[in-house]
């Protein structure tokens, strides 16, 4: 039952099962990817995982410098999902072997944006928020000047004055 629900969601864009994955492979192989077999399907799965991992790595790397990406995962995730969809439509697809360019139907654009906002952006942003804070707690990633050392915790008045002992007199 669950297998049949996904193709119905994209019925207008992808008329047959697995067509979303062949579209990803079509970026490499061109229009002949539609007639591929199991190998083409597996390559499509691999490409989708690679694209998702790359998008996650970009968000994580940006969150290291931009703290608000971890502080506001809902808003940032929605915008990031929309940005991923926009880059795919305006940069990646026109440069692919399919040479997909507009004009696009408004329904398809809205559906693509909403799906990527919820299914791509939000999981990435909430995962980065959860796991990046755990990593930062285990590994001190603050700059060296901000780290607290033992000597900086001791007040200067508590540090004993160094005695000036002459090394020759120390043995007597």
User: Above pLDDT 90, what percent of the chain?
Assistant: 29
Decide if 25 contacts 33 (C-beta within 8 A). Answer: yes
b/e for 38-64, b at 16 or more Cβ within 10 A? eebbebbeebeeebeeebbeebbeebe
Q: What is the pLDDT of residues 107-117, one digit of tens each?
A: 988 999 999 99
Average pLDDT over residues 34-51: 82
Q: Which pLDDT does position 96 carry in this prediction?
A: 81
Q: Which pLDDT does position 26 carry in this prediction?
A: 75
Q: What is the pLDDT of residues 131-145, one digit of tens each?
A: 876 665 555 556 655
Q: What is the pLDDT of residues 62-120, one digit of tens each?
A: 998 998 999 999 999 999 999 999 998 888 888 888 777 777 789 988 999 999 999 99
Q: How far apart are the first and last CA of the chain?
A: 93
The alpha-helical segments, DSSP class H, found in 10-72 are 19-29, 38-65, 68-71
Cis peptide before 23 (omega within 30 of 0): no
Decide if 76 contacts 69 (C-beta within 8 A). Answer: yes
Beta-carbon contacts of 103 under 8 Å, excluding residues fewer than 6 positions away, are: none
């Amino acid at each position: 039952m669950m297998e049949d629900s996904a193709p119905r969601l994209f019925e207008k864009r992808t008329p047959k099962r697995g067509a979303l994955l062949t579209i990803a492979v079509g970026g490499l192989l061109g229009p002949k990817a539609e007639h591929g077999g199991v190998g083409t399907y597996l390559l499509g799965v691999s490409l989708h995982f690679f694209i998702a991992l790359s998008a996650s790595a970009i968000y994580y790397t940006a969150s290291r410098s931009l703290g608000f990406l971890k502080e506001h995962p809902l808003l940032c995730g929605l915008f990031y999902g929309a940005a991923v969809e926009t880059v795919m439509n305006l940069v990646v697809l026109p440069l692919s072997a399919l040479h997909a360019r507009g004009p696009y139907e408004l329904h398809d654009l809205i559906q693509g944006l909403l799906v990527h906002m919820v299914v791509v952006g939000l999981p990435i942003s909430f995962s980065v928020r959860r796991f990046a804070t755990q990593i930062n707690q285990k590994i001190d990633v603050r700059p060296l000047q901000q780290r607290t050392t033992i000597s900086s915790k001791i007040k200067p008045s508590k540090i004993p004055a160094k005695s000036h002992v002459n090394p020759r007199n120390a043995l007597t």
